[in-house]
Amino acid sequence: MPNSFRLLLNGTDADDDFYTSLSSLEIEENADLPGAIQLTVPVDRSDDGDLTYVTDGRLKPFATFAVIATPDGGKDECIFDGLVLTAKLHLHRGTTASTLRVWGQDVSWLMNLEEKVKEWVDVTDADVANNIFNSYHITPADANRSDDSPSHTEDGHTLMQRSSDIQFLRSLARRNGKLCRVSCTDTPGKATGYFAKPKLDGNPVIILDLNDPNDWTVDQLDFEWDVTRPTSVKASQALFNDNDQDGVSADTSDSGLSLLDGRRLSDFAGKSMTVLLTASVDDARELSLRAQSVLREAGWFARCEGEADVARLKAILRAGTVVAVSGAGSLNSGKYFVWSVRHTITLESHRMRFTLVRNAVGPATPSGGSVGNLPGGF
C-alpha cells in the first residue's frame, strides 16, 4: 500500500494476526495536551475456552505501545509512544460482534502518578521543567530556556508545587505563554519534553493545497475567526521586595510571538479590547511574561479544520509545526500552526483530521516569506 505503519507492543513488532484483526486505530497528537490512542480488536473464544486479547500480556496495564507511520517515500514518524491505561470489553452472546477497546496515553502519564508538595528555590521555571523531565529520563528540548522566567528566590516568592509533576508544569507553562507536552522522537522509547513557546518563524514544512488540478492535497477546509479576544493588557503590581508604592507596570499589546501573516487581531478587528492583570511577581520581567501569556493564548483567533489522506499528502502532519494553506483566498491562505492531528489508520488508508490556528490573517506582507520546505515548529 502507498503508506504504511508499524505497531510496537511492549517493544516488539506486532504479528500479522494482530494487524489483520485490528478493527480500528486512532491517535491524537495535540500541542498542549497528552497524546492519546484508541484501538479496537474483535474478541473470540480461544482454543482453551478463554477470550482472545482480553488477557493478552501485550495489552496489560501500563504495557508500552508505539505507532510509527511512514508516508510513501518519506521518513519514519513516531506519532505515538505511550502506555495502555484503560480497556473496555463489549460482549455479545456467543462472542459474535464482541470487541475489546483499549485506550492509552503518552508517557507523560508517568508524571501524574504522585501529587507532591514541594518548594522550588533559586530556580527559573525552565530549570524546574528540565529538572522534572530529566527525573523521568525525558530529554528536555533546547527551546525550553527561551523566554525563561526570573529566578524564584527566598527574597521574593519561591515556587510552590502542590500537584503532580505534569499538572505543575502545565500550569507554569500557561502563565509563561508556553506549551508543555511530551513527544516521541523518531525512535520509540526516546521522548522529548517541551516547555517552550510556539516557534512560528521559518518556512512551512508542508503545503495544504485545495485547488491545484494535479497536486491538490486536501478535499475541503473549514475556516473561522473570532475577534472577541483581548488585544492588549494593562498589568501593574506592587513588589514584595520593593518599597516603591507604585510597583511596576508591564502594559503591552505584543504577545512576543512572530505573526503568521500580515494583520494581527487588532488590525483585523479594527477595535481593541483591553484587560487588566494583577499577579504576585518579584520584578517587571516576570510581570511582562504574564501579560504576554494572556495575549498568546488569546491571539489564536483564526482557525482552520480539515482532513487529509497520507497517501495524497505524502507527509505526516505533526502538532507543533508550521504548515501553509494554499488556494483559500487572500484572507485565509498562508501559514498556520498545527494545533492537533487525529489519525485514523487502517490497513487500507491513513487519514488525518487536523486543527490549525494562527495569530494573523492575510493578505500576506512581503516579510511573510516564500512557501518552502524548511523546518517550523517548537
Query: Nearest Cα to 58, choosing from 94, 104, 26?
Result: 104
What average pLDDT score do residues 310-319 get? 94
What average pLDDT score do residues 269-278 get? 92
Given a cut of 50, whether residue 37 has pLDDT beyond it is: yes
Q: What is the pLDDT of residues 114-128, one digit of tens each?
A: 999 999 999 999 999
Q: What is the pLDDT of residues 44-84, one digit of tens each?
A: 988 888 899 999 999 999 999 999 999 988 889 999 999 99
This model's pTM is above 0.85:
yes
Shared-domain flag, residues 153 and 205: no
Give 343's pLDDT tier (boundaries 50, 70, 90): very high
What average pLDDT score do residues 186-209 get? 92
Query: Nearest Cα to 173, choosing from 220, 108, 77?
Result: 108
Give 25's pLDDT tier (boundaries 50, 70, 90): very high
Q: What is the pLDDT of residues 128-163, one digit of tens each?
A: 999 999 999 999 999 999 999 999 888 888 899 999
Give 36's pLDDT tier (boundaries 50, 70, 90): very high
Distance CA 346, CA 13 (A): 17
Q: Count of domains in the chain? A: 3
The least confident of 31-45, 240-254, 291-305 is 240-254
User: How many C-beta neighbours within 10 Å does residue 47 have?
Assistant: 6
| Residue 102 · residue 84 · CB < 8 Å | yes
Cell of 137: 529520563
Q: Of 196, 227, 259, which residue is a domain's last?
A: 196
Shared-domain flag, residues 368 and 250: yes
Shared-domain flag, residues 34 and 129: no
Listing DSSP states for 112-144 in one string gives GS--EEEEE-SB-HHHHHHHHHHHTT-EEPGGG
Containing structural domain, residue 135: 114-196
Any idea what the CATH number is for the domain that residue 143 is in? 3.55.50
Query: Nearest Cα to 333, choosing from 301, 360, 294, 300?
Result: 360
